[in-house]
Amino acid sequence: MNFQLRFVPSAVTAMEALQGENPSKYRKVLKTLGLMETNLRHPSLNTHKYTAIQGCNGEEVFESYVENKTPGAFRVFWHYGPNRQEITIVAITPHP
C-alpha cells in the first residue's frame, strides 16, 4: 500500500534546517520517508507505536528509524490520516 505524506509545520522546519546543516543526515531522512511511502513494514524502519506522545486529535503515534545504533540517531514520528492512505509526519528529530 502506498501512502501520501503530509507534514506538520514543525516537521517542514526540521527538514529545511537539516538540509542546510547536515546534508548527509537529510539524505537519510529522505530515504526513510521514501520507504515509508511504499512499505511501512520495511525492516530497516523498525516501525513501532510510540506511547509518549499523541497526534493533534489524539491519534496513535508511531516511530520509524532513520538510523540505528548511532549517537543522536534520527527518528520520524508520524500517525495515520487525516485521510485514507495518508500519514502525517509530526516530528523529525534525534532520539534522546
Distance CA 90, CA 96 (A): 16
Distance in Å from the first CA to the final CA of the chain: 31
pLDDT at position 59: 92
Residues in the chain: 96
Low-confidence ranges of the chain (pLDDT < 70): 96
**pTM to 2 decimals?**
0.93
Number of helices (H), then strands (E), belonging to the chain: the values are 2, 5
